Structure 1
């Protein structure tokens, strides 16, 4: 294992152990070896985030472990921020929120956090977001992607209302729509005219990256 690979592995291992100081030490070592911030993000920070999501999703776990891992990731991102200003200006933007009538936010927060770690600029509208609020956010922020979450079967229909509101305001062609949440399915997403469905935070990252890559294949008003 060469020195660069060792540093990437050290960063990943420190994040999985929730050791922020270890992350910072390895990042500093990498920067001293003339590694770029983007390289460290791509080869260590993002893979570690995905592994963290896998480790703490859908199973019993000790909550402080999740918090420590999250702090380790945040510490690493903060340390790299001064070296990534140029790339941050070019980040693709995502607006995300839980639909009206639904106040569940744990899943939405995890997705928002994951997308942010993966390099997207995330505008989090919170919970109980009305179609009008989603429309205003799209008009204001001009995101590449609009992501919606619903954790109740009784609120899933709000996603369709949002899409119709986007169409009414002539915004549908300007943004890709990604939906997810406990009761949401791929078939439901297709039935309401969404562009994609994500079943987990990890999947949301790859889907969002794919949607951004494909956005140039579709006529858009201002995104991309």
Structure 2
């Protein structure tokens, strides 16, 4: 059976991988720079209540990807079919995803697929496909803009499909998910309305 329950016991680190602190600055993505105000909160953080609901049986220390510690990581042999499901701390419209593997002497994610759902469990992940992404061969946090969606979701499934390198282990250090919830979008709409009203009043005064 592929699915396994989560556990908090960290595995002993393999001799072929040593912990190293990676660069915590996200790579620049001009496509999402205009949305920075909506990307401040990480809705996949354990500190806000996000959880790992399921994962492949071979995976160890999976909750570590929701942690801010650069010295912890999810560990898998690269031959495994690697996947996991995250319950976000709030229902959001997902705009951006970040991942990283900081570990030396290990393979790095190359291609991964992300799907989402507003309910769990579900067999309809394909209905809310957020994208299939290609990551670079580096050990810094990499940022990816998702496909536009009007759906608010709370459950996100990751499938790691391919890796850079040919090492035995394929760790993952961190996953971050950014977006906007209903309250934030209502506030943005109200702010935009106020700006339009202010401009209209200013134009009227100028005409007079």
Q: Which TM-score applies when normalising by structure 2?
A: 0.29
Structure with bigger gyration radius:
2
Instruction: Looking at secondary structure, tell me which structure has more helix per residue.
Output: 1
Task: Pick 1 or 2: higher relative contact order, CA cutoff 8 A, min separation 6.
Answer: 2
